Structure 1
Amino acid sequence: MEASTSFIHHVGVFASDFEASERFYTAALETLGIVAGYRTETVAEYWHPERDTPSLSLETAEKARDATRGMHLAFAADGRDAVDVFHAVAVSAGGTSRHAPRFWNEYRAYCAFVSDPDGNNIEAVHKENG
């Protein structure tokens, strides 16, 4: 049996306003090299162009009260510049800044945190030795 290289296969996020969330995730994740590989009017699947896992599934919540809320989801970034761009684009695409990009000693990482349209904590993180 071959060992998996990823702990997570996919994550699902259910949005109260699919169009607003799709705008946010499409713009923010594109800065990290993650694309919408599959789309319908109510579903968008995001992954790296070279591989479809791990992936993020964005779906319309059947009722606004069923939307995903309170989740913290971190995406790997290739460098500090990518974290900076992620933060700026995510905010301009409808997100709300939680923490501007900076180095976090306790995590040995350069990170930025943005709330998606439903208030989920979405992070771009670049691990460093620091």
Structure 2
Amino acid sequence: MPLLDHLGITVEDLPRAVAQFDPVLTALGMERTDGDTGVAWYVDDETELILFPAREAGTGPHRHGTVGWQHLAFTMDSRDEVDRLHAIALAAGWTAVREPKPYTRFNERYYASFVEDDNGIRIEFMHNPPKPVSD
């Protein structure tokens, strides 16, 4: 059983958000399903990310640092994958918050980038391989 079942995100403009999320989530191996009340992406038919239209127009965008959403981090298998997903996000209309780079304040292996969509939704692509075992 997965630890996380689903994540729902409310967006101002559903078609625009789908245009930004779809290339990224598809590149992450998720499968898209359009529904009556939103659009969802699945991985392994278990974990789901769902976009819902806002109930009230003009309530966005979310402002980073306010109460609520901070960011969602996706684990990548390599630094090259971080770079690849970052480029895919930018091509889909996301804004670079932080370009791909090492984050040595976490540890010497941590490499990540941060992007934000039109709704103020921030995601991170990160690679943090295990610390080598010393003999």
Regarding TM over 0.5, the answer is: yes
Quote how far apart the aligned CAs of 1:40 are. Answer: 3.0
Give the gaps of 5 or more residues in structure 1: none
Matched letter for residue 43 of structure 1 = G
Between the aligned partners of 1:35 and 1:102, the Cα distance in structure 2 is: 29
Q: 1:32 aligns with which of 23, 28, 31?
A: 28
Q: Is the 8 A contact 1:20 1:94 kept in 2?
A: no
Q: The residue matched to 1:30 in structure 2 has which SS?
A: helix
The structure where strand makes up a greater share of residues is: 1
Larger Rg over CA atoms = 2
The structure where helix makes up a greater share of residues is: 1
Moved more, 85-94 or 56-65: 56-65
Residue by residue, what CA displacement relative to the aligned partner does 1:12-45 show, whole Å, maximum 9, x if unpaired? 1011011111011101122222231x11365111
- Match of 1:104? 103
Between the aligned partners of 1:96 and 1:16, the Cα distance in structure 2 is: 17
Matches within 5 A, 1:1-130: 4-6=1-3, 8-36=4-32, 38-40=33-35, 42-48=37-43, 51-67=44-60, 69=62, 70=64, 71=69, 72-108=71-107, 109-129=110-130
Counting aligned pairs with the same residue, the percent is: 29
The CA RMSD measured in Å over matched residues stands at: 2.0
Give the gaps of 5 or more residues in structure 2: none
CA change 1:42–1:19 in 2 (3 A) is: farther
CA change 1:41–1:90 in 2 (3 A) is: farther
Quote how far apart the aligned CAs of 1:66 are. Answer: 4.6
